Structure 1
Amino acid sequence: MRYPAGHREHSRERIIEAAAGLFRSRGITNTGIDAVMSAVGLTAGGFYAHFKSKQHLIGEVVKKAFADGQARLHCTDEDRRAWMETVLRRYVSRSHRDHPDQGCPMVTMLSELPHAHEVVQPIIKEELEKYADLFEKRLGEAPEGAPTARQRALGTIALMVGAVSVARMLRGSKLSDEVLTAARAVGASLVQPEKGES
């Protein structure tokens, strides 16, 4: 049977999309190839026409999830603090907390990614470096003796990921909302003022 042009690429994207949702909601370990392929109406036997292994699929899912997450980091604000406040509102939010199936992979797959295969680890490092570079540019140079822009960039990412993780653990309580509010306030305080601002 002949398929139309682009069919294979389209099927591959559907598999990645389905796996992304399943990995976030069920976990990587608890989601087998059968479940992923069934979610897109294909047989498990067809999996290897698209990916060498489950680990290669995980790598593609991580890439896609980070790319999707970049949308939360883009806004039109030129002002450093306004940019950071917008990013924090989007990421450290009730919506992100309450919808793990649509969230950042660093939060949803946090416990499993440290044990990821050697195929996946370099992808995680590369994607995290992109986030760090973006934050470093936006946070501004610090006065002498203060943490560097690089340190504050990595610290802010850790703060954001940790805040959403803890808020999820406490979901349904007042403390969960307080964690989100506190993290947004601390994150915004790490931005160095623009020249001419006090």
Structure 2
Amino acid sequence: MVRYTKEHKQETRQRIIATAGRRIKRNGIDGSGVATLMKDAGLTNGAFYAHFASKDELVDTAITDQLRTLHTNVVEQADPGPAGLEQVVRWYLSPDHRDNPVDGCPNAALLDEIARSGDTTRQAYTDGVLVVIDGLAARMTPEDPLASRVKALSLLGLMAGTLQLARALTDRQLSDDLLEQGLHNALALVNRKPES
């Protein structure tokens, strides 16, 4: 029997998490069975339980990982302040993001399923999305990010809802128009001065 190093086991676990995150964004949580997830990772079903106690544990971990990836690859890479926030909004509400859900934000791909999931999945989502929200809020009001947390959450909701609807439409021009209007609305929210 071959014994693997700790590093190999951790690399394998991360490969399972990353491939599961992409698959559940494509097919949904319920549309992604353990056999399919493990096949995507190039592993057997039997290897699954060496890394996770259940599919729910993997889903929770994958959602957290996808939100961390969104934060690291999009939010953290954006410029500081309002210019960076505009970069994030323009990426989020782009035709490229609409057309590539597997490589995009887990919010637009999974919110409806997460809302119907159990407490652990919803908590994993909440914890992960707060990291993204705090990154957006820090660009809204760098001097007091917590003051903009709810506004940042509202912005994410506007963007995710617009993207979900744009993905659902069969009329490409209508979908493009919706993205453009969503971009206009999101930027108006971003640039709106706080009420005194």
Instruction: Output the TM-score relative to the length of structure 1.
Output: 0.85
Measured after TM superposition, the shift of residue 168 of structure 1 is 0.5
Is 1:160 matched up with 2:162? no
Would the alpha carbon gap of residues 55 and 102 (structure 1) be closer, same or farther in structure 2, given more than 3 Å must change?
Answer: same
Residue type at the aligned position of 2:28: G
What is the alpha-carbon distance in structure 1 between the residues aligned to residue 65 and residue 53 of structure 2? Answer: 18
Aligned to 1:23: 24
- What is the aligned residue count? 187
Which residue of 74, 77, 99 maps to 2:76? Answer: 74
Measured after TM superposition, the shift of residue 4 of structure 1 is 4.2
Would the alpha carbon gap of residues 5 and 191 (structure 1) be closer, same or farther in structure 2, given more than 3 Å must change?
Answer: closer
Is 1:43 matched up with 2:41? no
Is 1:186 matched up with 2:188? no
Measured after TM superposition, the shift of residue 79 of structure 1 is 4.4
Determine if contact 1:140/1:191 at 8 Å carries over to the other structure: no
Determine if contact 1:140/1:193 at 8 Å carries over to the other structure: no
Aligned to 1:11: 12
Would the alpha carbon gap of residues 96 and 171 (structure 1) be closer, same or farther in structure 2, given more than 3 Å must change?
Answer: farther
Measured after TM superposition, the shift of residue 45 of structure 1 is 1.8
Determine if contact 2:78/2:88 at 8 Å carries over to the other structure: no
Would the alpha carbon gap of residues 128 and 79 (structure 1) be closer, same or farther in structure 2, given more than 3 Å must change?
Answer: closer
Determine if contact 1:96/1:103 at 8 Å carries over to the other structure: yes
Give runs of aligned pairs for residues 54-133 of structure 1, distance below 5 A: 54-70=55-71, 71-75=73-77, 77-80=79-82, 82-133=83-134
RMSD, matched Cα:
2.1
What is the alpha-carbon distance in structure 2 between the residues aligned to residue 76 and residue 100 of structure 1? Answer: 20
Q: Deviations over 1:135-191 (max 9, x none)?
A: 2232239xxxxxx73332121111111111111012552111111111212222223
Residue type at the aligned position of 1:88: V
Aligned to 1:137: 138
Which structure: larger Rg? 1
Determine if contact 1:37/1:47 at 8 Å carries over to the other structure: yes
What is the alpha-carbon distance in structure 2 between the residues aligned to residue 131 and residue 40 of structure 1? Answer: 27
Q: Deviations over 1:10-59 (max 9, x none)?
A: 11111112211211111111111111112223221221110011111001
Instruction: Output the TM-score relative to the length of structure 2.
Output: 0.86
Determine if contact 2:81/2:138 at 8 Å carries over to the other structure: no
- Deviation above 4 Å: which 4+ runs of structure 1? none
Percent of residue pairs identical: 30
Residue type at the aligned position of 2:47: G
More helix by share: 2
Residue type at the aligned position of 1:45: G
